Amino acid sequence: MENAARKKVMLSGIQPSGDLTLGSYLGAIKNWAERDEEFDNYYFMADMHSITVRQDPAALRRRTLEQLAQYIACGLDPEKNTLFIQSHVPQHAELGWVLNCYTMFGELSRMTQFKDKSAKNSENINGGLFTYPALMAADILLYQPDYVPVGEDQKQHVELCRNIVQRFNGIYGDVFKMPEPYIPKVGARVMSLSDPGAKMSKSDKDPNGSIYLMEKPEDILRKFKRAVTDSDTENCVRYDPTNKPGVANLMTIYSAVTGKSFDEIEQEFAGKGYGAFKPAVGEAVVETLRPIREEATRILGDKAYLESVYRAGAQKASYVAEKTLRKVYKKVGFVAR
């Protein structure tokens, strides 16, 4: 900000609440890795968000480290990206509290993710699940990013963060930079393979709907062969999300992993039908995920390396986050320590 040559900042996070899916990759991580030269980047494991839904402690710890290995395997070089674990940077909780006091009950009540998750976890609708977007706004604003690369489903939370910026800056002056959501053109909303009406999700109870980054090729191929296509009699690969949502989803995935346009895909499979199309999508996904799986497995074996990455990441992130937090504490009237 002070410096005109300052690189633009990108920031995003994913909850280690389940194994990463093709949706998390195409909707988010792939876009992070493609731009890491151009931007100053912060990517984290949102473990504090994960506990809004009950987690098995050992599984949460394991998945947090696996997620870090997968970030690196997807191309996020720790030399060019600050990779850290959210709970290692206490400023997230600290700013999260302040922003809770600038986020309205009505705004939080409108969040689709809150409604979905409280319907799915009706025995545990806790305060954290409700105020989650205030913590997410803190995650973002501590680093003053220009862009927040996420899938379509997170747009509403980034919009709420923008409202908080407007409210807070309206009272105290120019404290926070206004962040923009950055949503990919293809892959912003990858749907379940078994239910094209629902988002592919890592906490989906039906394992046939989701493709996991670490999954074996034969399982991936089997899931694509069984993917729900449409009950029309046409048996023709054509992009029509309203009438043919299953085929449109497979076309989106194929386009995102091969770079081919929908027109090119329609031509490639003209006269061939779903029987040829579905395994082709499966093969393309297998080839995209193969190097990621192999590299993540290798990195996971090197615990000392992973530790050095998350320690250095937390140190760098804390340094930046603390600057913003001090400014905020001063503005709201806390006595300096």
Indicate which single residue of 23, 96, 209, 282 sits in contact with ligand ATP (rule: CB under 6 A).
Answer: 23
Could you tell me which residues come within 8 angstroms of residue 40 by beta carbon, excluding any fewer than 6 positions away? 6, 7, 8, 9, 10
Region class of 75: left (phi > 0), else alpha (psi between -120 and 50), else beta: left
Binding window for ligand LTN (CB under 6 A); candidates: 59-67, 149-157, 240-248, 325-333? 149-157
Residue that has been written with the tokens 């192999």 in this structure: 294
CB of 21 or CB of 324, closer to ligand ATP: 21
When asked if residue 139 is in the footprint of ligand LTN (CB under 6 A), the reply is: yes
CB of 78 or CB of 181, closer to ligand ATP: 181
Q: Active site includes 80? A: no
For residue 318, how many C-alpha atoms fall within 13 Å in the half-sphere facing its CB? Answer: 11
When asked if residue 81 is in the footprint of ligand LTN (CB under 6 A), the reply is: no
CB of 332 to ligand LTN, least distance (A): 22
Q: Active site includes 117? A: yes
| Residue 188, Cβ density class (10 Å: 0-12 exposed, 13-18 middle, ≥19 buried) | buried
Q: Which of these, 159, 100, 126, lies nearest to 332 by C-alpha position?
A: 100
Q: What phi and psi values does residue 12 have, to the nearest 5 degrees?
A: -160, 170
Q: Which of these, 277, 289, 283, lies nearest to 19 by C-alpha position?
A: 289
Name the active-site residue from 202, 223, 244, 278.
202
Could you tell me which residues come within 8 angstroms of residue 270 by beta carbon, excluding any fewer than 6 positions away? 237
CB of 96 or CB of 282, closer to ligand LTN: 96
Distances (CA, A) of 240 to 84, 232, 244, 252, 282: 40, 12, 5, 11, 20
CB of 20 or CB of 320, closer to ligand ATP: 20
CB of 96 or CB of 209, closer to ligand ATP: 209
Binding window for ligand ATP (CB under 6 A); candidates: 195-203, 216-224, 262-270, 293-301? 195-203
Element (H, E) at 81: strand 81-85
148 binds, among ligand LTN, ligand ATP, none (CB under 5 to 8 A by kind): ligand LTN
17 binds, among ligand LTN, ligand ATP, none (CB under 5 to 8 A by kind): ligand ATP
Name the active-site residue from 30, 80, 115, 117.
117
Q: Binding to ligand LTN (CB under 6 A): which residues in 17-76? A: 46, 49
Q: Active site includes 202? A: yes
When asked if residue 189 is in the footprint of ligand LTN (CB under 6 A), the reply is: no
Provide the binding-site residues for ligand LTN, judged by CB under 6 A: 12-15, 46, 49, 136, 139-140, 148, 150, 154, 157
**Catalytic residue set:** 117, 199, 202
